[in-house]
Amino acid sequence: MKDTNTISEIVADDIRTATVFKKHGLDFCCGGNKTLKEACDENNIGIDDLLESLQNAKLSSESSIDFQKMELDKLLDHIIDRHHKYIYDVGPHTLQFIKKVASVHGVNHPETKEVAVIFMNLMSELHHHMMKEEQILFPYIRNLVKMLNGEVDTQNFRQFVENPVRMMLLEHDQAGDMLKKINELTSNFTLPEGACNTFRASYANLKEMEDDVMLHIHLENNVLFPRAIALEKQIAESLIEG
């Protein structure tokens, strides 16, 4: 691992390092194209300490899934079953919590009203985003895997994947911006003195959702999409050669 490696490369190589970057406030999904040196310089972080923490994370005894080696269709299943389902299940409850907090505590804590609006918009955007992935992009990628394995005919093959991926990346950036704004408004989910249980639940859910969505975006931006693009090019080249 070198200081010229990008954050996204490091996390893609070993997902356990994501926790280290999150702890240091470094974006590993939408802003993961920065090198370690660039990120440390911009955030006044000692690079030697960061490298040591990353190395310790890589030596951790905790199990780690190697998403780079996971079969592409299995990776799609993981993203849907783990991350899409999480948003579908937890998102509505979190929205109810934060809307109630904004209604009850909005006078004394006006930032909660803005958080409620942003989170409602985020959920709407993510639901539309996931629907497009599940109905258009992901089935296409599954079909590429079947083509590679000789399970379907390549007669109607045409290169397609880069355009929807470009749109998904843009939408990921927008989701990342909304998450960052929520983080700023809540001072990294810092509870006010004497916060009630609903206040606590809303901030706990928001923080957990931020962590999950960041990992979700990372898996798509830095693992799934590059591999899908490479697979499509591989199939196109094989057809030309054939």
Please check whether residue 23 lies inside any domain of the structure.
Answer: yes
Assess whether 106 and 53 both reside in one domain: no
Phi-psi region of 60 (alpha: psi -120 to 50; beta: other; left: phi over 0): beta
Please check whether residue 1 lies inside any domain of the structure.
Answer: no
Assess whether 176 and 90 both reside in one domain: yes
- Specify the pLDDT at position 119: 97
Please check whether residue 65 lies inside any domain of the structure.
Answer: no
Assess whether 104 and 146 both reside in one domain: yes
- Specify the pLDDT at position 242: 57
Place of tokens 């070198």: 2
Assess whether 173 and 95 both reside in one domain: yes
Task: State how many domains the chain has.
Answer: 2
- Specify the pLDDT at position 62: 43
Assess whether 121 and 222 both reside in one domain: yes
Please check whether residue 67 lies inside any domain of the structure.
Answer: no
Assess whether 104 and 224 both reside in one domain: yes
Assess whether 87 and 47 both reside in one domain: no
Please check whether residue 63 lies inside any domain of the structure.
Answer: no
Instruction: State phi, psi for 6 to the nearest 5 degrees.
Output: -80, 160
Please check whether residue 131 lies inside any domain of the structure.
Answer: yes
Please check whether residue 86 lies inside any domain of the structure.
Answer: yes
Please check whether residue 106 lies inside any domain of the structure.
Answer: yes
Assess whether 88 and 14 both reside in one domain: no
Assess whether 210 and 106 both reside in one domain: yes
CA 217 to CA 181: how far, in whole Å? 17
- Specify the pLDDT at position 197: 83
List per-residue pLDDT tens for the chain, 242 residues long: 677 888 888 887 776 777 678 778 887 766 668 888 888 888 888 888 888 888 877 665 445 678 888 999 999 999 999 999 999 999 998 999 999 999 999 999 999 999 999 999 999 999 999 999 999 999 999 999 999 888 888 877 888 899 999 999 999 999 999 999 999 999 999 999 988 888 988 998 999 899 999 999 999 999 999 999 999 999 998 887 75
Cβ within 8 Å of residue 65, ≥6 positions away: 15, 78
Assess whether 163 and 218 both reside in one domain: yes
Assess whether 51 and 81 both reside in one domain: no
Place of tokens 């992901």: 138
Q: Across-strand partners of 35?
A: 6
Place of tokens 């975006």: 217
Range of the domain at 83: 72-241
3-state secondary structure labels for all residues of 154-205: CCCCCCCCHHHHHHHHHHHHHHHHHHHHHHHHCCCCCCCCCCCHHHHHHHHH
Taking Cα atoms as reference points, which of 212, 230, 194, 202 lies closest to residue 15? 212
Assess whether 22 and 131 both reside in one domain: no
| H or E segment and range at residue 36 | helix 36-43
CA 84 to CA 234: how far, in whole Å? 28
